A and B are shown apart, each in its own frame.
Chain A
């Protein structure tokens, strides 16, 4: 036996025969503990009940720690080719979130439809969700063929109807198989009762499915899970860690982190208890050090910019399914998790609500439990992602409502955000001026720039700002120290208003060709967005003084508190060139 494993999920409408098919698979692959089948048959005979293979699952559930542990939630069996874990997803609509959980771990799905009852609500809803979850291998089992006298017309009708539905949602079923879990037709053994069907049994089909392959030839994407530096043990490596979602990365590659757009080169790939390597690829939980110390944190998306840049925006158009008890509506704010990014989100607009079982669209501004919808979200700050059509892995998100994961979906489009619109306005301003930015740059022999100094309170930021202003001035630069204290009109002025003023004034001073130095206590990523509304991110350098933690915005230069005055100035100056 090979060491190959495959996770499959079995889904379908309630009572369409999932448990019977699983019971049959277990019995026919000799996975059951010795004597189990006879024991259950005997129990049925004693209680004058007709034997059903579904009872095997109930019997096994009761077994607990005896024999091989098998449970309705995860069922283990094996063929000569490989080992399988079947995740049994409840058919009842109340358990849709369990179905989603089971299906999300699967590489392939068996979707069961009752030949007698035909295509039902959940046959379609589950089909739709499988496609949204990204499961490409779907095998449709038309079950209970014995009940319809193995009638080929009945089978063909269901196949035609369901294929049509799948076509509408853009899914192609791997194959359709007429089966009877009860009689064992075409499950593990080929059935003579349906001579019109000459393709594979369920088991043959399973063995023929491919293990999910994650191709390496995509663009590199790795959500940063954390930047680790464990100095206590005398280890001074600073390692960017995460699981690679797509593509590969090599030592020497230039990587950029979004949304901050900070760049550096991969210096080494780090690994504990394993051979050293110079390259790592998709699905690997990896870590690497950088040649240049840039300060990035959890949540950034690592990319190789020459391959393809991701989208960065505060407004996203999505396709989602909703599992929350409360409606998804515009009256509250949610947390959206994309990769390792986590930001708060508000519903801006519902484009369409879709009943996943009928595909009928409704126009209303909220989404109910178990519905799928197309909606626009407005986010508290910029996030980095890919459009689903470009790369599905980095387009995925979940929504958290009141501590619970209440929905999930994919980002289909990146919309222009307010910041971006303002940026266009900024650029227009530059163009319209009688004297251009370039002309001023030549005249003053400098590029206008904002040097923002931040760090914990009382770290000496104001002092550093003064030093910088003096030194730059002495050197002949056109520079101004913008003191936030002078912008506070009265005690009612909020921090946000103050930051908006700093942004506005910095923008004007830069228009005039000036270098601006400003110091602000403990700035957080969200507040950077306020500044970016007026200042292009390329035109602002963040200098961090003293202690840093995990929640800092992306930093351009880190200075120790003890840094000598002269060297601090030199380092900032390097930043300006």
Chain B
């Protein structure tokens, strides 16, 4: 069996285990390449359907094209689409672009905090109504007990230590040193009330695997990943004030694959275009401990 098919089968198996074991299950969709592949894998796992809501954390600083792409595909693929936002922080202008906090603090407020409130149901959730095509405030949101996330272990150090099913406490704490064992397709699906589990079906994929799979499956990606004649493209997507495009002429998936396989990026870290990773040494690991993806 070829490598990509092996990866695909394992991810599908994990998605189905998650669906069978968690009553309130959701999947985070950041509109980036990883979670978009995850949506595709979910459609494969459930034969064309995505039987749980997709959750987007809209920091308000996402590149506009991302939101447009999200809504197009949510409608086209009939996805149960939800987004959440830290409205308080945005209204109070407690953000890095407003000049009122550091990059990391901004990440904590607009991503981590927004995520926590969206997942546990205390924050506002907006849900796409497919009849009207508009987002509506969700009434009586329940907490998610299982949340599927597209992190990969090759992205950075702390992610390489993740489990496929990773329990988090009510406070979202992650105990890196004391994680549940996983073997033989058996995962932690039993958990004490008040806790939830993060599910990581893409843990074994590398950035190159992902693009090769996008190529094989012809998965449409947001156009920001491709050079449109300016010699620049995004390699990793985030908020526009903190994510920089890289110098690249790759304008097709095939060219991106080539660039990663043996070209200019075969030896350079993917997140090198992300400024918040550079703030201090353990920045991302610290953020992840409290709930950052």
Interface residues of A (CB under 8 A from B): 3-5, 33, 61-69, 71, 73-74, 76, 97-98, 100-101, 103-104, 133, 225-226, 228, 230, 233, 235, 237, 239, 241-243, 270-274, 283-285, 287, 298, 323, 335, 337, 340, 396, 398, 400, 403-405, 408
Contact = CB atoms under 8 A, between A and B. Distances in A.
Which 4 pairs, one residue from A and one from B, show the smallest C-beta to C-beta distance? A104-B183, A285-B12, A97-B181, A71-B160
18 contacts: A4-B3, A64-B156, A64-B158, A64-B285, A65-B156, A68-B267, A73-B160, A98-B179, A101-B181, A241-B16, A243-B9, A243-B12, A273-B43, A274-B44, A283-B9, A285-B9, A398-B183, A408-B183
Contacts of B191: 403
Given A69-B156, A230-B51, A225 B16 contact: yes
Contacts of A230: 46-49, 51
Given A68-B269, A97-B181, A243-B13, A233 B49 contact: yes
B140 interface: no
Quick one: which of B9, B181, B192 has the most chain A CB within 10 A?
Answer: B181
B92 interface: no
A235 B278 CA distance: 48
Nearest to A244: B9
B43 A100 contact: no
B153 interface: yes
A63 B156 CA distance: 9
Interface string B180-224: 111111111011100000000000001000000000010000000
Contacts of B183: 100-101, 103-104, 133, 398, 408
Interface string B29-62: 0000000000010011111110100000000000
B274 to A, nearest CB: 8
A62 B281 contact: yes
Given A64-B277, A69-B156, A285-B45, A273 B186 contact: no
Interface in B138-175: 153-158, 160-161, 163
Given A101-B182, A404-B180, A61 B157 contact: yes
Contacts of B187: 405
B249 interface: no
B157 A284 contact: no
A226 B282 CA distance: 41
B186 A337 contact: yes
A228 B13 CA distance: 14
Nearest to B276: A65
A97 B181 CA distance: 5
Contact of A405 (B182, B278, B282): B182
B71 interface: no
A551 to B, nearest CB: 12
Given A64-B157, A272-B43, A405 B186 contact: yes
Contacts of B163: 101
Contact of A65 (B78, B182, B272): B272
Given A71-B157, A285-B45, A405-B188, A225 B13 contact: yes
A239 B48 CA distance: 12
Given A100-B183, A272-B43, A396-B184, 20 more contacts: A65-B277, A69-B269, A103-B183, A230-B47, A230-B49, A233-B49, A239-B47, A241-B47, A243-B13, A270-B47, A271-B47, A272-B47, A272-B48, A283-B1, A285-B10, A285-B12, A285-B13, A398-B183, A398-B184, A405-B180
Nearest to B271: A65
Contacts of B271: 65
A74 B153 contact: yes
A287 to B, nearest CB: 6
Contacts of B217: 273
A272 B217 CA distance: 11
Contact of A5 (B3, B40, B158, B267): B3
B20 to A, nearest CB: 5
B195 to A, nearest CB: 9
Interface string B8-30: 11101100110110000000000
B17 to A, nearest CB: 7
Contact of A226 (B16, B153, B181, B284): B16
B201 to A, nearest CB: 11
A323 B183 CA distance: 13
Interface string B267-293: 101011010011001111100000000
A349 B158 CA distance: 42
A287 B271 CA distance: 37
B290 to A, nearest CB: 17
A249 B274 CA distance: 47
B281 A64 contact: yes
Nearest to A406: B181
Nearest to A243: B13
B11 to A, nearest CB: 8
Contact of A285 (B8, B153, B161, B190): B8
Quick one: which of A63, A68, A241, A298 has the most chain B CB within 10 A?
Answer: A241
Nearest to A134: B184
A5 to B, nearest CB: 5
A66 B184 contact: no
Contact of B185 (A33, A243, A335, A403): A243
A535 to B, nearest CB: 30
A71 B176 CA distance: 14
A233 B80 CA distance: 12
Contacts of A340: 20
Contacts of A408: 181, 183-184, 186
Given A74-B153, A284-B9, A237 B17 contact: no
Nearest to B152: A69
Given A76-B154, A228-B47, A104 B182 contact: yes
B9 A69 contact: no
B156 A104 contact: no
A71 B187 CA distance: 23
Quick one: which of B13, B16, B179, B282 has the most chain A CB within 10 A?
Answer: B16
A242 B20 CA distance: 11
Contacts of A226: 16, 19-20
Contacts of B267: 33, 68
B186 A398 contact: yes
A63 B272 CA distance: 12
A284 B47 CA distance: 14
A104 B160 contact: no
Contacts of B1: 283-284
B291 to A, nearest CB: 18
Contacts of A66: 269, 272
Nearest to B44: A272
Contacts of B192: 403
A135 to B, nearest CB: 11
Contact of A71 (B2, B161, B184): B161
Contacts of A100: 181, 183
A531 B160 CA distance: 50
